[in-house]
Amino acid sequence: MDLSPLDVRYQEFPRAFRGYHRGAVREYLARVAEAMEALIQENEALKERLRALEEENARLKEAEGELKRAVVAAERIARELKAQAEREAELLRKEAQAAKERLLQEAAEELKRLRAEIERARQEKALFLGQVRALFEGYLEALKRLEKTP
C-alpha cells in the first residue's frame, strides 16, 4: 500500500477514552509528512540524476565504441601503409639493382669497345711504322745505289 504525505497529514484516528492529544498527533503527523515530502523530492531528484547518468554512460559507451573502431581502422591503415611502403621500397631496390646492372653492362661494353679500338690503333700504328720503315728503307736503298753509281 502506497502512503503519501497527504495521507499521513490528514489521517484520522478513532477517538478513545483518554487517547492521545490531538494537537500533538497532528503536529507529529505534519512533521512526518514534511519528511516524507523531502524524501520523495530527494528520491525524484536522484531518479532524474540516475537517468541523466545512464544517458551519459550510454553516450560514453557509444563514443568508446566509435573510438575503438577508429583505433582498429587506424591500425589497419597503418599496416596497409607499412606494407605498401615495403612494396615500394622493394620495387625501388629492384629498379636500382637493374639500373646498376645496366650501367655495369654498358661500362663493360664501352671498355670492350675501347680496348678493341686501342688494339686497332696499335695495329694501325705497327702497319704505319712498317710502311714508313719500308719506304725509308727503299729510299735508303735508292740513296745507296745512287752513291755507288759514278
What are 62-121's pLDDT values in tens digits?
Answer: 999 999 999 999 999 999 999 999 999 999 999 999 999 999 999 999 999 999 999 999
SS3 state of residue 12: coil
Average pLDDT, the chain: 90
How far is 92 from 99, CA to CA, in rounded Å? 10
Q: What is the pTM of this model?
A: 0.46
Burial of 29 (C-beta count, 10 Å sphere; 0-12/13-18/19+): middle
Q: pLDDT class for 32, splitting at 50, 70, 90?
A: confident
Q: What is the pLDDT of residue 11?
A: 77
